[in-house]
Amino acid sequence: MLRASIHVDKYAKTGHQGAEFCPLMSCFGIINSENILGASCLFIFVYNTSMPSILFVCTANICRSPIASALFRATISKEVDASDWVIDSAGTWAVEGKPAAEYSQAVVKALGQDLSTHRSKSITMEMLRSYDLVLVMEAFHKEALAAEFPEYKGKIFQLSELTGRKFDVRDPYGSELEDYRDTAKLINGILREGLPKIRELLARN
């Protein structure tokens, strides 16, 4: 989201000046420019620094976490701030560059979403540093990430914790299509119920 303020000094003729600062997810810029009438116009742009970012994590990043990221995009699509969200997924032990599982793509497509361009990737320290909230599928994922990256454990939660409970979202890999449907239904229900909790956790971070 961009907020802009404009100040015009009709008598100053200072020519062109500029300054900008762009850390991750924020941007500040000043442009002082003489217009064709000889007026100096000062434009100050300040980008919103509270753009929410969320990373979904499973094991191989081909089943549960891509399903979750796609369904969460659908969950927030009607929210007023839908376009502001940064959403992605990763795996704790992913083989790089693999497409989403065939049944993952099928169940998401049936719900109006698309995973055809998804490619798997492993989670990195940079991802943990950059994202505001990390939602994992199993207690083991949370424990492993917290042990390896203790400085970021405060932003790592099990997906099920959004509903006030703790349980694993079972990996459907190698199962039948119906198991993938059940997994997608479970994830979708958690995300819809847990959206207020997601906003609460983001506000803390």
Catalytic residue among 84, 171, 179, 182: 171
pLDDT at 80: 87
Residue 43: pLDDT above 60? no
27: annotated active-site residue:
no
pTM (predicted TM-score): 0.77
pLDDT at 18: 38
Would you list the domain boundaries of the chain? Answer: 2-47, 53-204
Catalytic residue among 58, 63, 88, 132: 58
Residue 55: pLDDT above 50? yes
Residue 86: pLDDT above 70? yes
CATH class entry, domain 53-204: alpha beta
Catalytic residue among 63, 64, 88, 132: 64
Share of the chain above pLDDT 90, in %: 72
Could you tell me if 45 and 29 are in contact, meaning their C-beta atoms sit under 8 angstroms apart?
Answer: yes
Mean pLDDT of 73-99: 95
171: annotated active-site residue:
yes
